Chains A and B, each alone.
With several copies, the nearest count.
Chain A
């Protein structure tokens, strides 16, 4: 009978081959298409999550969490794993009550519901967003033994929305208008001033992220995308676009996202994220587990100034470099994937990647950064990352002279 057959596992008849030739999941029905209308990762992937560094902030509401880049297999960051940066936690916004105000030095101020915003002509572009504090802990020394925590404040998504220039055309810029203030509706009312030239170039008032509505973590229902510029100017939970003559000199562009130079002078408005790359395999979280032999070195490169031209990889701490292969597509202000085949001899090694972008900018070493920027900046640590490979295959985050 039915029970008898179900109970007599074929495995018993073919012990040499099964399991795994015929593991339990092959001899049963799984859940059907009605079981989860919105899916989730396999439960075996439960450790692939955003993580944070508890000692960086006194409160989780003004803090950051990091994308697990060691488990990101391509240029797209999963919406569930895209890094977070909050200044007052994550607001829960009712899209029916959502409004976008466009006002200030414009001919015809405008108030838009979400439905109305979505009626405007739209574009869809893949861009990275990186927090300028990505790698901040690594300025003075190699401190965190983790790719996720040294480089994970970056994510890359397909953003869909209205070009900011389309909305500015619609309201009509007055000749005196030179700056735009984007502000959010989170508790921080997070706001940043942007020069009009960038606003009219490639910025997007976005409502879509990787095939669905923007996630609450990334600004649901609407955020600003300012391609290639510091994450914090990509205002989330966008409530207002205000036009003015001069910047507003908000707390975020003075106290928070300014750089104290060695001279004691403070530098505001550093905006563009310079080119950066990092090897994502191997890395501290993903050591070489199979002993000596063939491995593929993999990594990600990006530039706030345009496309990636080349990535070079060193296996000897920067003495010699080999050209890595770039994976298609290579898009502007977008993560680019690179790979290099490597036959590991089982000896210790110091591996690095170094990107050159289409402007000719070449990613600097940490020593070069220190020379020009001082030893203790906070932001825009785009220096070359060195991973130390031990004979055991373990990988450590190190800095070298």
Chain B
């Protein structure tokens, strides 16, 4: 595969081109309104939880897949399944590599996510679902290591920390593009005889699908698949 550094460089080239302020000239000098307070470094650190691909901001601490397994079993498996296979509609976290171009793609941490830092970031900010952002850094490292290991991305002895995670090459790191390659304008504003009436056929009709919840009366809580 492509070496980590060059893929990151590719992404970065697009991000640099997309970002930036253009020819922006500030309307007012810095601090013109003099409203609000300057946060302390500790406050800024408390707010700033997002971890970019570089790993900047990853806290001290570490964790292994073995440590993660225990935490996962009691806090995550009830929704995502013991093997990360997903359950009752909750997301599948493991598997799916090679499926993305198929007719039944399985988008998982293993098959789809381009950066391992995102796994740490998301578990830290949003999981477990019922108590988000309550895990300690070591727990998040351990869970990340466990998910990467279940996906066969790192070996069982892998120790996740601020240095190792940004260096992990995810299976789909080459799979993301960041600029829409699809044509924008597809249609013409034709006004008469724009189609041949004879060839117009109804290809699908929602009335026969039996998928629509009740639309009047109290909100319909029908179970998936009715």
Contact of A196 among B19, B33, B114 (CB under 8 A): B19
Instruction: Indicate if the CB atoms of B43 and A262 lie closer than 8 Å.
Output: no
A42 → chain B closest CB, angstroms = 16
A200 touches B22 (CB 8 A): yes
Task: Annotate B90-130 by CB proximity to A: 1 below 8 A, 0 otherwise.
Answer: 10000000001111010101001111011001100110111
Flag A98-134 by CB within 8 Å of B: 1 or 0 each. 0001011001111111001101100000000000000
**A5:B135 contact, CB within 8 angstroms:** yes
CA distance A119 to B216 in the complex (A): 21
B24 and A119: CB pair below 8 A?
no
B-contacting residues, A170-221, CB 8 Å? 170-173, 177-179, 181, 183, 187-189, 191, 195-197, 200
From residue 1 to 31 of chain B, which have CB atoms closer than 8 A to chain A? Answer: 12, 15-16, 18-22, 24, 26-31
Number of interface residues of A (CB under 8 A): 143
The reply to whether A108 and B89 form a contact with Cβ atoms under 8 Å apart is no
Residues on the B chain within 8 Å of A28, using CB: 130-132
Are B89's CB and A57's CB within 8 A? yes
Contacts of B103 in A (CB 8 A): 376
Asked if residues B21 and A189 are in contact (CB atoms below 8 Å), the reply is no
A319 touching B223, Cβ below 8 Å: no
Q: For residue B48, which residues in chain A have a CB less than 8 angstroms away from its CB? A: 101, 103-104, 240, 242
Question: Please, what's the 1-or-0 string for B183-226, where 1 marks a CB less than 8 Å from any CB in chain A?
Answer: 11111111111111101111111110101110111011111111
Residues of A within 8 A of B (CB): 1-2, 5-6, 8-10, 13-14, 16-18, 21-22, 26-29, 34, 37, 47, 49-55, 57-59, 61-62, 87-88, 101, 103-104, 107-113, 116-117, 119-120, 137, 141-146, 148-149, 165-166, 168-173, 177-179, 181, 183, 187-189, 191, 195-197, 200, 239-240, 242, 244-251, 254-255, 258, 260, 262-270, 274, 284-285, 290, 293-294, 310, 312, 314, 316-323, 350, 354, 356, 360-365, 368-369, 371-373, 376, 384, 388, 396-401
B15 touches A179 (CB 8 A): yes
Using CB atoms and an 8 Å cutoff, list the residues of chain B in contact with chain A. 12, 15-16, 18-22, 24, 26-40, 42-54, 71, 74-75, 88-90, 100-103, 105, 107, 109, 112-115, 117-118, 121-122, 125-126, 128-136, 139, 172, 175-197, 199-207, 209, 211-213, 215-217, 219-226
Q: How many interface contacts (CB-CB < 8 Å) are there between A and B?
A: 402
Question: A107–B30 contact, CB under 8 A?
Answer: yes
In the complex, what residue of chain A is closest to B217 when comparing beta carbons? A47
B141 CB, min distance to chain A CBs, angstroms = 14
B204 touches A399 (CB 8 A): yes
A-B contact pairs, 7 of them (CB 8 A): A54-B224, A145-B212, A166-B27, A246-B54, A248-B50, A254-B118, A317-B200
Which of B19, B29, B47, B130 is close to A17, meaning CB atoms less than 8 Å apart? B47
Closest to A54 in B: B222
Chain A residues with CB below 8 A from B139, complex form:
5
Bound-state Cα–Cα, A373 to B184, Å: 11
> CA of A316 to CA of B35 in the docked complex: distance in angstroms?
24
Q: Which of these, A195, A250, A401, contacts B199 with CB under 8 Å?
A: A401
